[in-house]
Amino acid sequence: MKQQDVFIPFCEKCALETNAIFKHLTRDEAEKINFEKDFRHYKRGDILYHEGNRISGFYCVHNGIIKVFKTGLDGKEQIIRFAKGGDIIAYRSVLSNEPACTTAKVIEDCQVCFIPTEILISFVKSNPAFALELVKLTCHELGEANSYITDIAQKTVRERLAEVLVQLVNDFGLDESKFLRISLTREELANIVGTATESVIRLLSEFKTDKLVELNGRKIKVLNIKGLEKISNVFN
Amino acid sequence: MKQQDVFIPFCEKCALETNAIFKHLTRDEAEKINFEKDFRHYKRGDILYHEGNRISGFYCVHNGIIKVFKTGLDGKEQIIRFAKGGDIIAYRSVLSNEPACTTAKVIEDCQVCFIPTEILISFVKSNPAFALELVKLTCHELGEANSYITDIAQKTVRERLAEVLVQLVNDFGLDESKFLRISLTREELANIVGTATESVIRLLSEFKTDKLVELNGRKIKVLNIKGLEKISNVFN
DNA sequence: CGGTACGTTGAGTCATATCAACCATAGTGG
DNA sequence: CCACTATGGTTGATATGACTCAACGTACCG
């Protein structure tokens, strides 16, 4: 491991540069997190926490990608969201004081800070601006969840897959060759859309035929995002 | 209108008896809401607020039933939740400072208090315990939304209908003759489950054949809730 | 009494799930 | 180095759940 890999970011820096939720922390509070936090590395496939477990803190993602999913009856995953640098995860369970309702698994090696529950709670109590920001975040996510419910309930698999691709482009962007900056298995794509792996494969190759995407194994090159948006039936 | 119908409840009373979220308010704060709130009556079919609009406050439901839904592309409603006495609605949009992502329509005549945004925000800032309670509420709802996403994505319509019926029993209860204490059209049931009206009708009559329910127009008599739970595939 | 909203049933269609076979790739261990 | 295994990707055939369309019944209401 090279020296620069073990550099531990200062919370003040994170707060300013990447993590909007912490921007209202005072210098003292940032110091406190800095002192209490536990900086951790995780490899692809590692599990940060398991659905059903009680967790003693939340995670502030510095880099890498984590998938957050629920496990259905037959063991089928339903991916709820992805977390990348600047996102926080597990705060829902911590704040509602319930067991984790999801599992978090690493998709791309990541560095995260683990921050104990008490700190979060104490900041909510001591820093009204921070509390408000946190409320805003959860309310925003609630709005997104509501949209997702409506989509899954009303849209076809084809529309949803297109929408998911657009969403992934928005969240992770494209590299210089227009390849999506997140690499998922077909099964994972299916587990976001809420469909069978085979359906994703078939629809992706339809999209390819229609010159909307190019496929190179797990890498997806997005040729026509407007076309995907049109299929997805979203106007925004 | 009879005299007792226009009685305006005191917020202190609501806070203690019905509305858990306000239990941490100080006496002064409760007084303030009492002074600022607008007590309103709505009839079946009335709309409290429309999706896409900015709203200047939230609603604290005293009695009656309100359905909260999103409108899909072809105008199909997706019911997100119901609010009854003790619930608050529209707080999501108010707190995230976004336009309303849902419409709220009265199902059973109701009395609500309308409380201006500023009050809510100021209490979040001035009363940490209240802020925490609010965060808890939104986080809890977020957890429920995640479950619902998984359900809709993975379960059959039959399973979901059974689950919705169980949920309605839990939320609204049964009267002395085992009739569900909320009366919905078949279309509304379909709009919770996320299916077509005809499918609900067919499945309900299957449930009737299987002696799980009896049907009397819009009134649903629940004969075998364990059976419904079993069909719904929930263990909790 | 006509109108409107809701409920019901049947028939036909289609999107999607399921099942099964097969291929490609990479890692493992003898 | 090769068989072995696991994992993921692909394709085809088939089954079916659920939607759509259409017709008709029912109830309530002004």
Give the tens place of pLDDT for each residue, A87-101: 999 999 999 999 999
Q: Is B211 left (phi over 0), alpha (psi -120 to 50) or beta?
A: left
Say yes or no: A140 contacts chain B, CB-CB below 8 A.
yes
Low-confidence ranges of chain B (pLDDT < 50): 1-5, 236
Please determine, for residue A142, whether its predicted confidence score (pLDDT) is greater than 60: yes
Confidence of residue A4 (pLDDT cuts 50, 70, 90): very low
Query: pLDDT by residue (tens digit) across A188-235?
Result: 999 999 999 999 999 999 999 999 999 998 999 999 999 999 999 875
Distance (Å) from the alpha carbon of A136 to chain B's nearest alpha carbon: 4
Nucleotides of D under 7 A from a protein CB: 8-13, 17-22
Q: Could you count the other beta carbons within 10 Å of the beta carbon of residue A43?
A: 10
Q: Identify the closest residue of chain A to B195 by CA–CA distance.
A: A153
> Minimal CA–CA distance to B92: which of B44, B45, B145?
B145
Domain(s) of CATH 1.10.10.10: residues in chain A: 156-232
Position with higher pLDDT, A182 vs A236: A182
Predicted pLDDT of residue B46: 93
Pair of tokens at residue B87:
């619930």
How many Å apart are B201 CA and D25 C1'?
15
CATH 2.60.120.10 domain range(s) in chain B: 11-151
Return all residues near A101 (Cβ < 8 A) that are at least 6 apart.
A51, A70, A92, A93, B143, B146, B147
What CATH class is the domain B11-151? mainly beta
The C-alpha of A55 sits at a distance from chain B's nearest C-alpha, in angstroms, of: 15
B145 close contact with A: CB closer than 8 A: yes
pLDDT of residue A6: 56
Q: Does B102 contact A at CB distance below 8 Å?
A: yes
Restricting to B residues 8-67, those with a Cβ less than 8 Å away from any Cβ of A are none
A-facing residues of B in 69-88 (CB < 8 A) are 70, 72-73, 76, 78, 80
Token pair 């993590």 is found at A19
For nucleotide D7, the protein residue with its alpha carbon nearest to C1' is: A185
pLDDT value of position B228: 96
pLDDT attached to residue B75: 87
Neighbours of A201 (CB within 10 A): 15
Contacts of B196 (CB under 8 A, 6+ apart): B190
For residue A18, what are its two tokens? 């990447």
Q: Note the pLDDT of residue B20.
A: 72
- Closest Cβ opposite residue B139 in set A96, A136, A149: A96
Give the pLDDT confidence score for residue B4 in this predicted structure: 45
CA atoms within 13 A on the CB side of A61: 25
Which residue from B126, B62, B122, B66 is spatially nearest to B90, judged by alpha carbons?
B66
CA of A160 vs C1' of C15, distance in Å?
14
Nearest to A30 by CA among A110, A126, A94: A126
Average pLDDT over residues A128-155: 93
Q: Which two tokens stand for residue B35?
A: 């002074």
Find out whether A124 and A96 touch, Cβ atoms under 8 Å: no
The listed CATH number (1.20.120.420, 3.40.640.10, 3.60.21.10, 1.10.10.10) that belongs to domain B156-232 = 1.10.10.10
pLDDT exceeds 90 at position A49: yes
Query: Which nucleotide lies nearest residue B199, CA to C1'?
Result: D18
Asked whether the beta carbons of residue B149 and residue A148 sit closer than 8 angstroms, the reply is yes
Residue in B closest to A131 by C-alpha: B131
Q: What's the confidence (pLDDT) of residue A139?
A: 94
Closest partner residue to A138 (CB to CB) among B97, B98, B138 is B138
- The span from the CA of A204 to the CA of A160, in Å, is 12
